[in-house]
Structure 1
């Protein structure tokens, strides 16, 4: 069961990830139908005894096997293009934060409020408690309000990095000298984990990302507390 779950997408925590899950299931059903049809036709070819040595053409079947794949591609392409458009859409953000990739940790800047920033390092295995996740938990989590449009601006201080949270369908490159942005919305509270998805050096696998999604009221209190400290 654990092996089967590891092959599936993570539980969605944003509307875009829900759409990606729907498209995944849509494409998977089409592939399953194609596999069953082709398998059935191949089995009949292997085991039947029909032969007709004067057969030179079959215009009707040729038309059918040209139109069917074209229609199948349209059924895949239309929702795919719609989803690509939605993933690139930038809405009016309620909160904007900036994250900077370093070798090998992340920095976060909350400039919408009384400006403050902090670094986020992975917690070493020998310092972890029993309720923490190895190679995923960090000392300072990026805290964000749910049901709010978030704009994330990403850059890097040294080499290429990639800020990725699979449950939010967020993956954006952190490039030195360039500021990229992406928009997303959290639709539930919780902890969401990700890792740098760009091979950025020896400790590439030791710079995780942890998002803590909380209500707007608690987020306001957290902002005030961080500003005072």
Structure 2
């Protein structure tokens, strides 16, 4: 027994040393595999946009928790007058035209007309002016009231045409494409650049009111829910700060995609694709509604757009079956770009009992 004890002791020491070495190798493999994948020439560019995104892709899992909207941001407010606060460059430009050009001109014209009416009523009524003037022409006055409106229209037309041109500017090459389809009475959002999956968006039911969409939960049952009549079960999720090519169509009748705080309104017409570029400047949730009378439940097909940083957007994409980033689908636990890491990954995922048995 003593001899056997001394004989087995070196064997156990060698086995322990082997297990320790295997454990160290297993622990180092994921980092090595990640470095190899990031240094490979063919690695997709979008996979290096942030540490959080890289961790999600390396682990092979995407995670997503809907963003909680901020009250008063991207939605109507009680007693609101004027345009909603804009969160796109086009919206800011359009709001400036409205607030800085149109409203002052309208105000000045209304005040001028009111003053003229008061003057005429006071100075040229029958009692104050019993003998009416027989003047039929006044060259200076006719020139003024002809040229001034022309100049006003030119002043309005120049920024207005510029805004229209900016709204129809084509999307840059490589812009993310999202296909929007209006249906009676819900929206479908397709992501052809991210694996061609689709998201169906229905309005949430309102507690205490008749059911609008069967099988859909009630608004307020989740902490991230926004206002009633505007919140949906699945939002259109987009990356913030990037040009997005929206291709809008309809499956049945004419609908209209309208989000006031993003200066977004475009018709969805069956058999036709209308295109518009959308760039959202700030992360958040932005609400709108169908703006074209489309049937019995026209008032119950809202639009909710959630703008996320690119890393979080990529993580959201990977939560969908078939979702991919720049042609790369959700990877396994260890990326395929590092073939030497596969055996070690298998060892790391095996139960502790099996690893011990193999070592012995």
| Superposition TM-score, scaled by structure 1 size | 0.91
For residues 133 and 269 of structure 2, the distance between their equivalents in structure 1, rounded to whole angstroms, comes to: 63
Q: Which residues of 2 match residues 139-178 of structure 1 at below 5 A?
A: 139-178=233-272
1:56: how far off? Answer: 4.0
Residue 141 (structure 1) shift: 0.7
TM-aligned CA deviation for residue 123 of structure 1: 0.8
CA 1:101–1:2 in 2, change beyond 3 Å: closer, same or farther? closer
What do the CA deviations read for 1:45-69 (whole angstroms, capped 9, x no partner)? Answer: 2222466635343212222222111
Q: CA RMSD in A?
A: 1.9
Q: How does 1:87-98 map to 2 (within 5 A)?
A: 87-92=167-172, 94-98=175-179
CA, structure 1 residues 140+47, in 2 after alignment: closer, same or farther (shift >3 Å)? Answer: same
In structure 1, stretches of 5+ residues that fail to align are none
What is the rounded CA distance, in whole Å, between the counterparts of 2:274 and 2:142 in structure 1?
48
What does 1:16-95 align with in structure 2 at a 5 Å threshold? 16-25=90-99, 26-48=101-123, 49=128, 53-92=133-172, 94-95=175-176
Residues 78 and 109 of structure 1, relative CA distance in 2, 3 Å threshold: same
Q: How many angstroms does 1:210 deviate by?
A: 0.4
For 1:110 and 1:103, how far apart are their aligned partners in 2? 21
The counterpart of 1:119, out of the listed 189, 194, 200, is: 200
Instruction: Give the equivalent residue in structure 2 for 1:128.
Output: 219
Alpha-carbon distance in structure 1 between the residues aligned to 2:78 and 2:229:
19
SS in 2 for 1:125: coil
What per-residue deviation string (whole Å, max 9, x for no partner) do you get for residues 116-138 of structure 1? Answer: 11211111113221753111111
> Larger relative CO (CA 8 A, sep 6+): 1 or 2?
2
Other-structure match for 2:180? 99
3-state SS of paired residue (2:193): coil
CA distance in 1: counterparts of 2:133 and 2:190, whole angstroms: 75
The superposition leaves residues 135-179 of structure 1 with CA deviations (integer Å, 9 ceiling, x where unpaired) of 111111111111100111111122221111111111112122222
Candidates 287, 290, 310, aligned match of 1:216: 310
Q: Give the structure with higher Rg (CA).
A: 2
TM-score (norm 2): 0.59
* Number of positions where the alignment pairs a residue of Structure 1 with one of Structure 2: 226
3-state DSSP of counterpart to 1:129: coil
Q: Structure 2 unaligned segments of length 5 or more: list them.
A: 1-76, 208-217, 324-329, 331-360
The residue that corresponds to 1:12 in the other structure is 86
Report the CA distance shift for 1:186/1:114 in structure 2 as closer, same or farther (over 3 A).
same
